[in-house]
Amino acid sequence: MNDCERFLANMHYEPCDRCPWWEMWYWEETLDRWHKEGLPEDVHLARFLGVDHREHAPVSLGLIPGFKRETLEETDDYEIFRRTDGVVCRQFKGDMGQRMPQWLRFPMETRDDWENVIKPRLDPHSPTRYPMRWEDLKRMWAGRDYPLAIGGGSIYGWLRNWMGIEGICKALYDDPEWVHEMMDYIADFVVAVVHRAVTEVQFDYVTMWEDMAYKAGPHISPRMFREFMLEPYKKVTSEFHAHGVDLIFVDSDGDSSLLMPLWLEGGVTGYYPIERASGMDAPTLRKAHGRQLRLIGGIDKRAMAAGPAAIEAELANVAPLVADGGYIPWCDHLVPPDVSFENYMYYLTRMKEMTLNPKGFKARL
């Protein structure tokens, strides 16, 4: 089977030669470490690691134009700068540079900011949303043997980025009409941007992004999700379903379990990366939601760092899910720099062995 046939068969619970071999990808600092530990620097990483090929259509749903990156203050210890999404943050240097930045200011605090700063950058008809060589890409994709994805945007996550977690949470209570207005506009914007793409190209799956949960649970309640987000989700997913794309995955970290039934009701059919540190577990999600929910991820990054015994336990946990189908194992986020090259190669070898014979997999504990 080729990579596209394998992916589609797996996600539709049909017979296939093996589970796809994917990875969410790797932090830059991880690759820096691995180069020191034996990873060649003159190789195509996916080919060296034997990862199946997949591509994502370069249709832009971002702010156009983006904000100009601007350094506002710099010392020996940190830099304060404006990012291209308009957020002002403090990024520490040295060993602290690998950590999350400190958020200082956000580009959208008022309705005026929405109308005059953000919304004008969400013009669905901007000519740069599609690459100049779009027609060439279409001809190439027509003969592809790998799965092709397209972005489906974000209903909550973008607003959280532009307003900050405190800003969006306050707005949900203080000005719900404004939040409805923004979420409805975003859904219409996404549909308007992708319509040409899904009309002209047959995509295999869609990726949406939210990151709307922490370890203790989601940022907002299921009641608020239903009130504010459900209809915008249905509008977006209906556009893809109408053009034959039935695999729609949402990316959210943290414990998102309370929101899963609402995503499914809103037309989402898949979830990743299944963050283990927040208590998420792929077999538990399958048991709760059945085959309607496809899953990607769920291999604990802490186990990859810990070494063979912990890796074996993680693989044994998901082997029945691999045998059932509708699941692809990968790290529960980007592979972090505390994972050694030796440990990752051990994981990769054993993961491939497991996917070739999931029912017969025996952990080396």
List the one residue out of 182, 180, 173 whose CA is nearest residue 108.
182
From residue 337, how far is each of 33, 138, 157, 277 by CA, in Å? 7, 37, 26, 17
Q: Please report whether residue 84 resides in a domain.
A: yes
DSSP code string of 110-148:
SHHHIIIIIGGG--TT-GGGS-TTHHHHHHHHHT--S-E
Q: Please report whether residue 60 resides in a domain.
A: no
Residue 126 has pLDDT above 90, yes or no: yes
Q: Please report whether residue 96 resides in a domain.
A: yes
Let me know how many helices (H) and strands (E) the chain has, helices first. 14, 13
Confidence of residue 365 (pLDDT cuts 50, 70, 90): confident
Residue 97 has pLDDT above 70, yes or no: no
Q: Please report whether residue 73 resides in a domain.
A: yes
Confidence of residue 343 (pLDDT cuts 50, 70, 90): very high
Strand spans (E) along the chain: 55-56, 70-74, 78-82, 88-92, 102-105, 148-151, 205-209, 213-214, 217-218, 248-251, 270-272, 294-296, 327-328
Q: Please report whether residue 85 resides in a domain.
A: yes
* pLDDT, averaged across the chain: 96
| pLDDT score recorded for residue 240 | 98
Q: Please report whether residue 99 resides in a domain.
A: yes
- State which amino acid sits at residue 333: H
Distance between CA atoms of 355 and 319, rounded to whole angstroms? Answer: 7
From residue 280, how far is each of 284, 296, 321, 336 by CA, in Å? 8, 12, 15, 18
Q: Please report whether residue 95 resides in a domain.
A: yes
**What does the pLDDT look like over 213-265, one tens digit per residue?**
999 999 999 999 999 999 999 999 999 999 999 999 999 999 999 999 999 99
Residue 96 has pLDDT above 70, yes or no: no
| pLDDT score recorded for residue 98 | 63
| pLDDT score recorded for residue 94 | 79
Give the N- to C-terminal CA distance of the chain in Å, as an integer: 33
Cβ pair 308, 345 in contact under 8 A: no
122 class by beta-carbon count within 10 Å (0-12 exposed, 13-18 middle, 19+ buried): buried
Tell me the three state secondary structure of residue 357.
coil
**What does the pLDDT look like over 169-216, one tens digit per residue?**
999 999 999 999 999 999 999 999 999 999 999 999 999 999 999 999
From residue 131, how far is each of 85, 125, 192, 196, 352 by CA, in Å? 20, 13, 16, 13, 36
- 98-102, 111-115, 345-349, 354-358, range with the lowest pLDDT: 98-102
Structurally, the chain folds into a number of domains equal to: 1
Domain range spanning residue 100?
68-106
Angle at 288 between CA 283 and CA 294, to 5 degrees: 60
Cis link prior to 58 (omega < 30° from 0)?
Answer: no
**What does the pLDDT look like over 258-294, one tens digit per residue?**
999 999 999 999 999 999 999 999 999 999 999 999 9
Q: Please report whether residue 87 resides in a domain.
A: yes
